[in-house]
A and B are shown apart, each in its own frame.
Chain A
Amino acid sequence: MQTLISHPAFQSALAPFVVAVLMVLAVTRFRPDLSSQWLGLAILGGFLSTVLLTTGLSIWPVTSTQKLIFSALTLPVFVILMEWLYRLLAARVLPGESVKGQFFITIFLPVALLVAAQCWIIWPVLMRQEWADAWPMVLRVTGYVAAIGTIFLGLGRLREPEKKLAQGVSILVLGLGTGITCLLVATALYAQLAFAISASVGGLLLMTLFPWCRIALGHVASFGLFAAAVPLALLGASATVYAQPHLPFWALPCLMAIPLLAWWPTIRVSDPWLKVVVTPLLAFIPVIPAIWLAWRAGGPVSF
């Protein structure tokens, strides 16, 4: 049993997948009225299972990895709070459908927190550098997490059924891309945490294939997308700082292109089953140059 539990494939693939599936079943059974909003719990649960199996859930010592895990588990909840706050304000204070107010509360504030979390994670490195040397790094990592946060929270706001598969697949492939690139630059823990997100999203997406779950195909919702986007953004950005060798920065813009490619088949392909196959394949195209860059920096994986 111990051999199974300590195997990386169990820790970062099987365990989060099973936990995510069980949590989707629990959410859809007990709160079918709210199920789509709470699907993010399946991703958080899957991610938490991998954390418990790899590093354990400890606060001390406060390392960059602990900060990353803490941010990944807490920030997504903020999206739920902000959406609740927006609905409250929209009903009482904001005039009608305030687009600016909605953007500020439900997208800008969570993304600002995500950026702050990334700065907190790299703070020990910043403290040792002159500002003139540090600002390009700060700009790169905060720019990446802000972009990923905004893209996926923005995607989460799209309600059209045909767009939902692209949402889910984007985050699934972003997890795979982040995991593979981190593995190549010798941060197996970062890779495992990224693969855990992919496995959790995979479990969730699998459940959306079953009509009795009453979830639209590929639907992850804002909370779920942010629950997955937060750790993946932080892992990718932090790998450019803490991985040895560093993940090349240009791998990150490649990963950012994943949602754009995932979008294309929603327009061109009408058959849903073909869409399920084609969408991940297309979304994976930007991952290839990212893998190549990471391979050049880190070389082949060894055990």
Chain B
Amino acid sequence: MKKMILLAAVLLLPVTGWAASYTIDPQHTYPNFKINHLGFSTLHGRFGKTSGSLEMDLAKGTGSVEIVIDVASINTGFKKRDDHLRSPDFFNAIEFPEIRFTSTKVSINGKAATIVGDLTIMGVTRSVTLDVSSIHCGVHPFSKKDVCGFDATTEFNRSDFGIKYALPAVGDKVKLDIEMEAIKK
């Protein structure tokens, strides 16, 4: 009887798939943002330190994502501006050292996906939707580890999270692009 159950389990494995767990690779995961500066140009910046985890069941088209961003790692290429962005005027990195995204619903469809989740900035949580493209999972050519990666993008208003300083001179709408890679546990 045990052999029958084992055989059935092995036969069903390719059909059901496994929800694989991954750890975010901080060296290849960078949230990048764009925001309008005084109407003149679009400022680009990124957060240099991230952590988190990813679960993907490609067969079922589901999964989960948790991304934690170190606010103090913000980098726009100019230290004085980065200091200002870390200050209470904007992110208040001392009081709120993390930005967190936790998925609530993941729908994977081939190479694309939609991830609905809770984005928490400065203690305020709002639901946002990440549009995911270029999902690719495979064996890393050098480390030989299983890796999954994708690009995700979303937009939100910073004022919704209580970041109201210098509105409307500095834009309200923030475009967030996340390039993510994760290594199988």
The answer, among A55, A62, A298, for a CB contact under 8 Å with B164, is A55
**B135 interface contact, C-beta 8 A:** no
Q: With contacts A55-B165, A188-B165 known, is A64 near B92, CB below 8 A?
A: yes
The reply to whether B88 and A62 contact each other, CB–CB distance below 8 Å, is no
The reply to whether A54 and B95 contact each other, CB–CB distance below 8 Å, is no
Chain A residues, Cβ within 8 Å of B96: 63, 124
- Shortest CB distance B118–A (Å): 15
CA distance A58 to B160 in the complex (A): 12
The reply to whether A61 and B80 contact each other, CB–CB distance below 8 Å, is no
Chain B residues, Cβ within 8 Å of A6: 166-169
The answer, among B83, B84, B93, B162, for a CB contact under 8 Å with A63, is B162
Which residue of chain B lies nearest to A68 when distances are taken between CB atoms in the complex?
B88
- Shortest CB distance A298–B (Å): 7
The reply to whether A186 and B84 contact each other, CB–CB distance below 8 Å, is yes
The reply to whether B87 and A187 contact each other, CB–CB distance below 8 Å, is yes
Choose among A62, A64, A300 the residue with the greatest number of B CB atoms under 10 Å from its CB.
A64
The reply to whether B165 and A2 contact each other, CB–CB distance below 8 Å, is no
CA distance A58 to B163 in the complex (A): 12
Q: How many residues of B contact A (CB 8 A)?
A: 25
Chain B residues, Cβ within 8 Å of A125: 94-95
CA distance A241 to B95 in the complex (A): 9
Which residue of chain B lies nearest to A245 when distances are taken between CB atoms in the complex?
B83
Chain B residues, Cβ within 8 Å of A252: none
Q: How many residues of A contact B (CB 8 A)?
A: 31
The reply to whether B81 and A63 contact each other, CB–CB distance below 8 Å, is no
The answer, among A61, A243, A244, for a CB contact under 8 Å with B162, is A61
Choose among B78, B80, B81 the residue with the greatest number of A CB atoms under 10 Å from its CB.
B80
The answer, among B92, B124, B166, B167, for a CB contact under 8 Å with A65, is B92
The reply to whether A242 and B168 contact each other, CB–CB distance below 8 Å, is no
Chain A residues, Cβ within 8 Å of B95: 63-64, 124-125, 242
CA distance A187 to B91 in the complex (A): 11
Q: With contacts A55-B164, A58-B162, A125-B95 known, is A298 near B88, CB below 8 A?
A: no
The reply to whether A64 and B80 contact each other, CB–CB distance below 8 Å, is no
CA distance A126 to B17 in the complex (A): 47
CA distance A245 to B80 in the complex (A): 9
- Shortest CB distance B80–A (Å): 5
Residues of chain A at the chain B interface (Cβ within 8 Å)? 2, 6, 54-56, 58, 60-65, 124-125, 185-190, 238, 241-245, 298-302
Residues of chain B at the chain A interface (Cβ within 8 Å)? 78, 80-81, 83-84, 86-89, 92-96, 122-124, 161-162, 164-169
- Which 5 A-B residue pairings sit nearest by Cβ, starting from the closest? A244-B86, A186-B83, A189-B89, A186-B84, A187-B87
18 A-B pairs whose Cβ atoms sit less than 8 Å apart in the complex: A55-B164, A61-B123, A63-B123, A64-B95, A125-B94, A125-B95, A186-B83, A186-B84, A186-B87, A187-B88, A188-B165, A190-B88, A238-B88, A241-B94, A242-B92, A243-B88, A299-B80, A302-B78
